[in-house]
Structure 1
């Protein structure tokens, strides 16, 4: 290490030590009572110094690699343990490839007079406030961002709107203190290579996302379609800003560290896929009559709950879904969404399911790639064509049976479903439907596909080009891969269809490979083809745990909004509880299950006005709820109201179902457990339980009110109440 490097290392070490001292957690006041405490403090200091030295060494190593223009793979390996904040800006510039770009904005002194200049000014101020609390710094950042956006708008002849997401993209970059030139170049590259084109309602990015969701979770896709929650409603802000619009700047820094290192523009689709799939339970629990805007708001704001510590799990899950997805979609969509030329995709809008290029299917079947996906081929050609040659192990599904012999078709469907149960799913084979390649013959295959999708069978794709495309690609190798292969008949089939169908070369042959491969992502060939099996193996073991952790984190935000409004809420009849009847012959701390011998005249119950609605499922499963029991509340008028008895560590809650809104209810009672003085049940109706509440007054027990419910599982409920009350008394 040269003298300059040593000097940098010392400076970084001093700086980081100062930061650690300033931000270290202070202990409790006073001197340590035991030597053990002092020893622990000394150990923590030692660990902190060692951590600082490690960060310093890593920072110096990264700076050295940047100075030498090391390969991006080297930088990625150095950053595998995290990105030091001091070099984050330099690393982002390197991964975006802007280090050697010219200063396009440096000589521009044009007026800030764009069509929507006031909107640009307003949005940049809002983003600057997100970046820093210093008013002086906010002014500098907003001015710089406004100039960059204005110059980009004029140079590209594009009118700025908030929906473009430019200000949201700039804020994480500006917070790193990048120069105006670097900000412009980074924005230019992000918009050109990482933000999909056509991010508006009905655009191709949303078609692609729906196909990916349909492939991995057709049931959820159907639920969202039925409820008219279309991808563009919640996905647009995520895609246009790479989640910057919904996450704090600190979280975005951690997220973009990994995102820019991967250099895969499609990764944002899988990050979004993880978000939506992990919100499935929340979506299912919301009532069907919930307004679309409310449901969309729930999904849109889920990333706000993420912390920097959640990002690793988020990316691990996104990579898991990526390697469990056919990779053909990258070539199909890349030039259209990210490439330099606006080519037309061969995937039609509203495709029934995810198409797979035939070459990818052949590679999987012949083990010529390390891809983690193995396909089970469902051959939907006519029987005579199937008999003339088919893929080894393929199952024939005669689509003519769908119309001519529904019973036989149902039997074939059952056979295929049994095969799916045995060998399909996350760790098994994915279904790939193969047709003849002729539109007229394959129309029945689409009907069969629809049948499976209606049954929410995941991992379904269709081989583009059909059997004719397979013959063309296999050529002389057809006899090796195909079983019962009749070369003459298959050749005749191919020749007969050439004139009418004229199958064009596959999309991979039509596109410029050099242009497409250059933008597929730095690690597309290296990581998703050569190493996809290893990635899948390493991720599959823990993906469920990661998914559960992330699901909990995202669910907390929505549930807390439902629960927070009702915690410690004064309920109806609160004033009435202050007074009540006095009983002098009752022992203190009465908690017994006894016969209810009171006279009806003594019965006193607290009613009241209606409280706000809550989602029963979300409220009942919130963290504060320890037990939940269905019950029927007996009102003071003798009416029966379907309700739920809930227990927290401190309260007993009666949640009465709303008769006019399924799945929702109103909190009618929230009683402190320590105010329960007696629990009684009638001799002949032990399932009808009365809870009596009150307080002590000069040695006397004052019963203030009571609640009566019918509990189907009385023994279990009262035992839970007894245990919870005893814990509360402790």
Structure 2
């Protein structure tokens, strides 16, 4: 991706000299291909290699590891004599120090590292740091939690695809072991591995490999779904997926992985980090292997309520418990109806999906999170659960288990119907009490949602709840999200490089001083050609809900302006400044608009916006048509 010549490279060189934090390098790189001349410096800086001592410094050149023959043979794959010697020394010292056995993944991981212009000691430090920071532990264990967690992430984003792979009895460990153990270096050429690791190391996100796997699977979903009965053919096709990655695909792969990551509840990362990347924890391992779908922490749900309400909470407790106390934005679903009255339950599910779709269209509640009375999210539906009911002496315990089982069966129904973004709240309803003041308590005679007993909670409750939140908190957060303060070099300290500081054209002279308008005003404006609900992709891959407004002369990005029906302008560009519109080859919903000037020989880009647009084909077509109309006028 080339957007502005070599200026960004000069900025990157200056940032390295200034020893800025790696997070600022990530912003400067912004998905571009890192020049090979800067690779050693960038890796060394981000991995903090300089000045660190390694075990290799005191190596006595005694090559006597029990697997020494395997180590020596594996080192012979390198054509350079110096690389052969370095690999054998590094592996011998590392395996003797850790007491580990030789595995082929170590050689795969060393392949990109041997190409760096570093000393042998520094290469050892890079190797050790990458292993400790990025490579999941127990990747050689086919029943490791990492493979079960990978499946849960695919189930969250594409349950149809996940169910199809499950139906042919294919586990993630059957095809992705080398992907995780070598960070794809064992499946790619050294040149492509280097480019992939450039972005991986700069982003410094250990979880990125999980979302790269999701990206590869989802991008090839049609080729996967077309194989219905041949397990071996599908398995072979899955194993070949990394081989389709070319050098020009690497920035897209990383960007899309960041998009998937941003669209996933993040609380699982802190919950399972230790058992995935440090040391297996038996309790966490068992939990990951047994849960029905991705768990979400109550803290994350409550934080979302304060800012953007990205969760649509489905309360599966009995009606009397829901009426007594519930999260004010929750939708009540009586899961006991699934067995007692399937027809009524089906009607309730249709109502739920209808309210959910309305919430999504309003920019809220994209993610479904189910909750029950408590403690049940760890257990999946199984015969053993049902049998355990007969062993309970307390009627309350039996009722509690029944609620949990009913919820799990309901969640299973939604997953079987390929409902995306389905999760379960950790700890159930009790966990919310200690995390929020948004619990709504009602008198016994009051009806659920103001209607009949057990009636689903209205979507309006969610909006009413948001109105009670601190506008100061929301304004501060929005200001932080949309007005970051990145590193600015001397080259651009007096320029208008960053969004929000460039030329912003007013769309409507009737706007107030702050550029705040209502959604209805925008829709009714005679200049409005099209208004698309989408998400803005930041330079670091973060997603933010927004609207993309196309008028007769401008393309404008609008965001929530502090209240539910107010919109504020983030950026606006005249259509004549759009010099290029590109889409991601493997995910056409990700659209990039590049703004600048052009002549017959040269295109100069001065700004860029990237969006995730569900109706990308329609939007880009309308933008192009409007540009042509301007040219003809």
TM-score, structure 2 normalization:
0.64
The alignment status of 1:240 with 2:240, answered yes or no, reads no
How big is the shift at 1:152?
A: 0.4
Give the match for residue 498 of structure 1: none
For the 8 Å contact 1:434–1:462, the answer to whether it is kept is yes
Deviates more, 1:393-402 or 1:357-366: 393-402
3-state SS, counterpart of residue 109 of structure 2: helix
CA spacing shift, 1:304–1:460, aligned 2, 3 Å: same
Alignment equivalent of 1:70, drawn from 17, 20, 30: 20
The alignment status of 1:433 with 2:370, answered yes or no, reads yes
How big is the shift at 1:483?
A: 6.0
User: For each residue in 1:69-97, what CA deviation from the matched residue of structure 2 results, as whole angstroms up to 9, or x when unmatched?
Assistant: 33223433443454221221121111112
In the alignment, the residues of structure 1 paired with residue 425 and residue 177 of structure 2 have an alpha-carbon distance, to the nearest angstrom, of 29
Give the match for residue 536 of structure 1: 543
How big is the shift at 1:459?
A: 0.6
How big is the shift at 1:326?
A: 0.5
For the 8 Å contact 1:375–1:431, the answer to whether it is kept is yes
CA spacing shift, 1:324–1:485, aligned 2, 3 Å: farther
CA spacing shift, 1:378–1:248, aligned 2, 3 Å: same
How big is the shift at 1:198?
A: 1.4
Give the match for residue 420 of structure 2: 458
How big is the shift at 1:471?
A: 1.2
CA spacing shift, 1:526–1:412, aligned 2, 3 Å: farther
1:233-382 to 2 correspondences below 5 Å? 233-288=174-229, 290-292=230-232, 294-339=233-278, 344-345=283-284, 347-367=287-307, 374-382=310-318
Q: Give ranges in structure 1 of 5+ residues lacking alignment.
A: 1-46, 130-137, 488-524, 552-730
In the alignment, the residues of structure 2 paired with residue 539 and residue 395 of structure 1 have an alpha-carbon distance, to the nearest angstrom, of 25
For the 8 Å contact 1:144–1:180, the answer to whether it is kept is yes
Deviates more, 1:415-424 or 1:537-546: 537-546
Give the match for residue 141 of structure 1: 83
User: For each residue in 1:247-297, what CA deviation from the matched residue of structure 2 results, as whole angstroms up to 9, or x when unmatched?
Assistant: 111111111111111101001100011001112111122351x242x3222
**Number of aligned residue pairs:** 443
In the alignment, the residues of structure 2 paired with residue 122 and residue 388 of structure 1 have an alpha-carbon distance, to the nearest angstrom, of 69
For the 8 Å contact 1:335–1:343, the answer to whether it is kept is no
CA spacing shift, 1:415–1:73, aligned 2, 3 Å: closer
Q: Give ranges in structure 2 of 5+ residues lacking alignment.
A: 377-400, 446-483, 487-536, 549-580, 591-633
User: For each residue in 1:666-712, what CA deviation from the matched residue of structure 2 results, as whole angstroms up to 9, or x when unmatched?
Assistant: xxxxxxxxxxxxxxxxxxxxxxxxxxxxxxxxxxxxxxxxxxxxxxx
CA spacing shift, 1:152–1:427, aligned 2, 3 Å: farther
- Identify which of structures 1 and 2 has the higher relative contact order when contacts are C-alpha pairs closer than 8 Å and 6+ apart: 2
RMSD in angstroms over aligned alpha carbons?
A: 3.6
3-state SS, counterpart of residue 345 of structure 1: helix
CA spacing shift, 1:526–1:192, aligned 2, 3 Å: farther
Give the match for residue 109 of structure 1: 60
CA spacing shift, 1:532–1:144, aligned 2, 3 Å: closer
3-state SS, counterpart of residue 160 of structure 1: coil
3-state SS, counterpart of residue 176 of structure 1: coil
How big is the shift at 1:307?
A: 1.6
Alignment equivalent of 1:185, drawn from 125, 142, 145: 125
CA spacing shift, 1:362–1:124, aligned 2, 3 Å: same
CA spacing shift, 1:485–1:168, aligned 2, 3 Å: farther
CA spacing shift, 1:237–1:425, aligned 2, 3 Å: farther
In the alignment, the residues of structure 2 paired with residue 423 and residue 302 of structure 1 have an alpha-carbon distance, to the nearest angstrom, of 36
The answer to which structure has the higher helix fraction is 1
Give the match for residue 34 of structure 2: 83
Alignment equivalent of 1:198, drawn from 112, 117, 138: 138
In the alignment, the residues of structure 2 paired with residue 485 and residue 93 of structure 1 have an alpha-carbon distance, to the nearest angstrom, of 63
Give the match for residue 218 of structure 1: 159
TM-score, structure 1 normalization:
0.56
CA spacing shift, 1:250–1:334, aligned 2, 3 Å: same
User: For each residue in 1:284-331, what CA deviation from the matched residue of structure 2 results, as whole angstroms up to 9, or x when unmatched?
Assistant: 22351x242x32222122212212211111112111111110011111
CA spacing shift, 1:407–1:436, aligned 2, 3 Å: same
For the 8 Å contact 1:217–1:458, the answer to whether it is kept is yes
Give the match for residue 94 of structure 1: 45
In the alignment, the residues of structure 2 paired with residue 279 and residue 540 of structure 1 have an alpha-carbon distance, to the nearest angstrom, of 29
Give the match for residue 442 of structure 1: 404
CA spacing shift, 1:320–1:170, aligned 2, 3 Å: same
3-state SS, counterpart of residue 370 of structure 2: strand
User: For each residue in 1:595-628, what CA deviation from the matched residue of structure 2 results, as whole angstroms up to 9, or x when unmatched?
Assistant: xxxxxxxxxxxxxxxxxxxxxxxxxxxxxxxxxx
User: For each residue in 1:625-673, what CA deviation from the matched residue of structure 2 results, as whole angstroms up to 9, or x when unmatched?
Assistant: xxxxxxxxxxxxxxxxxxxxxxxxxxxxxxxxxxxxxxxxxxxxxxxxx
3-state SS, counterpart of residue 423 of structure 2: strand
In the alignment, the residues of structure 2 paired with residue 457 and residue 543 of structure 1 have an alpha-carbon distance, to the nearest angstrom, of 30
